[in-house]
Amino acid sequence: MKNFFLLLVGLAFIGGSIYLFLHKQAPVKYQDSNKLTLEDKTLTIEVADTDVERIQGLSGRETLPLGTGMLFVFENPGIHGIWMKDMKFPIDIIWLDKDMSVISKELNVSPDTYPQVFYPSREAYYVLEVKAGTF
C-alpha cells in the first residue's frame, strides 16, 4: 500500500511537471505573432537579442516589407549606435526606453551614410529598424 501511494505521488509530480513545462509562455522571440504597436502603427517584428543577431541585423537583405521591422533588444541601457554597413535599402531607426517609449529617431537613413554611426539622444534599451517612410 505504501509503494502504491508513493507511485501515485511520483506520477502526480511527473504529470504536473510536464503540464507546467508545456504551458510555459514562450519568449517573445518564439511566439507566433511578434507584434509591436508604436505611434499607432502595428508592426510584425523579428527580435535580435543575441550579439550575433544584433551584429547581423538587416545587413545583406534586399529589402524589408512594409509593416515589418527588427527589434534589437539589449541587456542593459546604453547609447547603442547603429550604422548602415552592408545595408541595401534606407531605414528609419527608432530608439526606445524600457517602457517602449520613443526617445530618439533617425528617419530615411541611406546606406550611403556608412560608415557614419547614428546614436540616440539618451540611453536606450531597444532599437527598432523599419523600412524608410514607416515613421
**Domain regions of the chain by residue span:** 26-131
For residue 8, the model assigns a pLDDT of 60
Q: Which segments of the chain are extended strands (E)?
A: 35-38, 41-48, 68-78, 82-83, 91-96, 102-109, 117-118, 124-131
The 10s digit of each residue's pLDDT in 23-57 is 433 344 434 458 999 888 999 999 999 999 999 99
Report the pLDDT value the prediction gives residue 32, as an integer from 0 to 100.
Answer: 42
Contact criterion met (CB below 8 Å) for 123 and 77 = yes
Q: Given CATH 3.30.70.360, say whether it is the number of domain 26-131.
A: no
Output the pTM of the full model.
0.74
Phi-psi region of 30 (alpha: psi -120 to 50; beta: other; left: phi over 0): alpha
CA 26 to CA 43: how far, in whole Å?
19
Q: What's residue 35's pLDDT?
A: 92
Cβ contact 93:67 at 8 Å: no
pLDDT at 15: 57
Low-confidence ranges of the chain (pLDDT < 70): 1-2, 4-33
